Structure 1
Amino acid sequence: MKEIKKYIFLTSLIIAPILCMFISLLLGRYPVAAGTVLKVILHKLGMSGTGSTAMAASVVLDIRLPRALLGALVGASLAVSGAAFQGVFRNPLVSSSILGVSPGAGFGAALAILLFKNSFMIYIFAFGFGVIAVILSYFIARTYKTTPAVMLVLGGTIVSSVFSSLISLVKYWADPYDQLPKITFWLMGSLASASYKDIMIAGIPMLLGMIGLLAIRWQINILSMGDKEARALGINLRFLKGILIASATLATAGAVCVSGVIGWVGLIIPHISRMLVGNDNRLLIPASLSMGASYLVIVDCISRILTGSEIPLGILTAIIGAPFFVYLLKRKAGGWV
């Protein structure tokens, strides 16, 4: 019976994001029937004749499919990183950006918009400064030659504050008619310009980060017991925390550099997953990956169809996430979810 439940659970984790991505291919200002979408995909795979118009094929393959794939990757990366950090820091308020990666990436993107007109440089600067922010947080936490969780959180808070101020400084310098709107829109998060190039550029660090977290998910259970207990069990804390932070940083920085700053995904999705599968990270990490991918694809669909102009994802995730988090707090009386 346990094996059957495990098989059903794993199957549902795989099917959920695929189903959400398929639904996203149908929705938009140019509606496409499910049968037409299937024909377009099968034709692209060389498994059937065309059977669809050039317009439908272009909408599905060139606009909606890369957007759905990128949304799934970004959502999964943010959710998995948030779940891993919540386990290690034993703090329900921790998210994927706790070590400053999002403000760092935001500053890098804003600086690139100010200095260059090449969108590729935005990816490079956002990713690079996101990683730099985490490195600075880690070295601040190493003040006493150890890396206790509370020092990492304090280091992340300091670095986030500094980079947030630097973002404001760049916005102050930016051209208010050209550069400032671009910076503001980027910081609100969006998948509007998603392309296969974005997937190729950012997909590698996101996948490497998620694979790393999946590989050590059982050891996150030990880290969540506390440093003393982990040392007593023979765990190399410095090495393991380094692997976890590096993996989560790769995943988050890769996501932020192509999507902008999208909040609440790394905070809310792990809590929802925990309600379904419990605190065991062997199940929680895969569940967060699946639910994060599904969630962001759904939110992106809402952003495209809710109004005539596209709503930035950061706005929607906050509007949806904040009330749900209040519900979680009321349900658990402020305790660990």
Structure 2
Amino acid sequence: MKQKAGFLALLTGLILVSFACGRYPLSLSQMIEALFHQGDAMIQSVIWNIRMPRILLVCICGGALALSGIIYQTIFKNPLASGDVIGASSGCSLGAVIAILFSQNTYLIELSAFITGLATVLFTIYLAGKVKGNRILNLVIAGLIMQAMMTSALMVLKINADPMHELASIEYWLMGGFNDASWTQVGITAVIVSLSFLGVYILRWQIQMLSFGEEANTLGINAKRIRFTALLLSTLMVSCVISIAGMVSWVGLLVPHIIRLLRKEALYQNMGITFLCGACFLLLCDTLARSLFTMELPISILTSFFGAVFLIVLFVKGRFPI
């Protein structure tokens, strides 16, 4: 309980800092006035039309990626599992690039990325189900196959893209960012993530039992159906985030490791705090991305850097949880 309160306090502090930071710095009094629709109209616009939707979107996306990561790792019994394992990230990337080549419409890009990412994972699950043997291993292999196919198709599209316009848009999208955040995106993401969170929370006991492997069937649950449902809900969250923000690396891999170091409880007890930790981590990275330099950094530069440094420390100290 104390740790949850600590993460809530940290998230509140980061939100206040994020409101104040940026190309248009604000004081505490200016923020408070603007939040109550008082004071300068320009500051109110910055708070309510730019920073508020961006902060909310970042928090929702960070929590969703972290939660999906811990579920993937539980299902696959692998601390290195993430959305990349079953092709979600590469599928979303391919869909977004296709839309960028044919249209620069933001909503079309997001919709294309979401549909392609979800379709890739569904095909991965279908392909794994057609092969006899260990289901977990089959899913991992099928995911790697799909990832390779999507990556190959992505490279072909990049070669044929206009280097002056389309290629730059593709590369920037692949590096991820929340600079186009809007209230519409917040609403769509909140609905999808909330419903997916509710689904995995209802199944939390059964998902925990999947960590026992094939023995889960002897514990009174339909392991195949629970695994499929949990993968689908987790992928729904990942696809939603990537379709809106582009590639956001390491969150789903790093945050579950942080939670395991802080808490030794089972999955069903860590879901809420994992979501909060993911929100804190991504909000910190996003605030730095738009505040460190005059130009905004792609979010994956910072998430990858912090993630790599953190895991290097764990690896050197021999505390890598494998």
TM-score, structure 2 as length reference: 0.95
Going from structure 1 to structure 2, the CA distance change for 1:139 and 1:55 (only over 3 Å counts) comes to same
CA distance in 2, matches of 1:190, 1:308: 15
Deviations 1:156-200 (A, max 9, x none): 111111111111111111111111100110000000111112112
1:29 aligned to 2:23? yes
Name the residue aligned to 1:196. 183
- The answer to whether the Cα contact below 8 Å between 2:131 and 2:138 also exists between their aligned partners in 1 is no
1:117 aligned to 2:104? yes
Q: CA deviation at 1:86?
A: 0.7
Going from structure 1 to structure 2, the CA distance change for 1:9 and 1:324 (only over 3 Å counts) comes to closer
CA distance in 1, matches of 2:263, 2:81: 19
Name the residue aligned to 1:156. 143
Root-mean-square deviation over aligned CA pairs: 1.6
Deviations 1:213-238 (A, max 9, x none): 2222232221112122x111111112
5 Å-filtered alignment, 1:1-337, equals 6=1, 8-43=2-37, 50=38, 52-144=39-131, 148-228=135-215, 230-332=216-318, 334-336=320-322
SS at match of 1:99: coil
Deviations 1:238-277 (A, max 9, x none): 2211220111011111111100001100000110011111
Q: CA deviation at 1:39?
A: 2.2
CA distance in 1, matches of 2:115, 2:133: 25
Q: CA deviation at 1:129?
A: 0.4
Going from structure 1 to structure 2, the CA distance change for 1:307 and 1:260 (only over 3 Å counts) comes to same
- The answer to whether the Cα contact below 8 Å between 1:141 and 1:147 also exists between their aligned partners in 2 is no
Q: Which runs of 5 or more residues in structure 2 are unaligned? A: none
CA distance in 1, matches of 2:71, 2:45: 38
Q: CA deviation at 1:145?
A: 5.6
CA distance in 1, matches of 2:122, 2:265: 28
Q: CA deviation at 1:203?
A: 2.7
TM-score, structure 1 as length reference: 0.91
Q: CA deviation at 1:311?
A: 0.6
Name the residue aligned to 1:3. none
CA distance in 1, matches of 2:140, 2:12: 35
SS at match of 1:225: helix
- The answer to whether the Cα contact below 8 Å between 1:105 and 1:127 also exists between their aligned partners in 2 is yes
Q: CA deviation at 1:140?
A: 1.6
SS at match of 2:200: helix
Going from structure 1 to structure 2, the CA distance change for 1:13 and 1:283 (only over 3 Å counts) comes to farther
- The answer to whether the Cα contact below 8 Å between 2:7 and 2:280 also exists between their aligned partners in 1 is no
CA distance in 2, matches of 1:279, 1:146: 31
- The answer to whether the Cα contact below 8 Å between 1:208 and 1:250 also exists between their aligned partners in 2 is no
